[in-house]
Amino acid sequence: MKKIAIFASGSGSNAENIARYFKGSELLNIECIYSNKANAFVLERAKKFNIPTFVFNRTDFYQSEIVLDDLKNRNVEIIVLAGFLWLVPDYLTNNFTIINIHPALLPKYGGKGMYGDRVHQAVVENGEKKSGITIHYVNEKYDDGQMIFQAECEVLPGDTPADVAQKVHELEYRHFPEVIEKLVLSC
């Protein structure tokens, strides 16, 4: 059984969807949910599934190895970023397979500061005809790692950023757990 960790900074809807998908799985176990925000709603979602949590601050993450030590103590093999907004340091990228989901069709609308509603706003403002999701490996740059999977949705004239967000969330919920499952099976 593979052991994974989920990193999230916010509400954690993708983390909950992943937890629900793999509940009772013999393929993988979510060992812990890590967050850089002590008040992130993802921590409440973790309680519903009896998943341990670990909260850290910027100093812990960038100037110590406390996060690395905890991951190693839990024997985590794969890290899944599900709405985690900080750049991942190389001490993690060098030690783990890490994947991320981005709410756009990379390479468009990626990079520092491009997350959540900011992405959807930019898609609408630029008159894009499609948007979607990109699941990719994580390296030392924002949204730059090798692509694993993309799925797209149509952006209709008159769609608001909220409309695009809803379509993108549907893609995230449908595909992210399946891509994780395929990745785990191939490891």
Catalytic residues: 102
| Of 97, 100, 33, nearest in space to 67 by CA | 33
Q: What does DSSP assign to residue 115?
A: -
Q: Six-digit token pair at 36?
A: 């850089």
Sheet holding 78-81, edge to edge: 53-55, 28-35, 2-8, 78-81, 97-102, 130-137, 147-154
User: What's the rounded Cα separation, in Å, for the pair 136 and 157?
Assistant: 29
User: What's the rounded Cα separation, in Å, for the pair 93 and 99?
Assistant: 10
| Of 160, 182, 93, 166, nearest in space to 133 by CA | 166
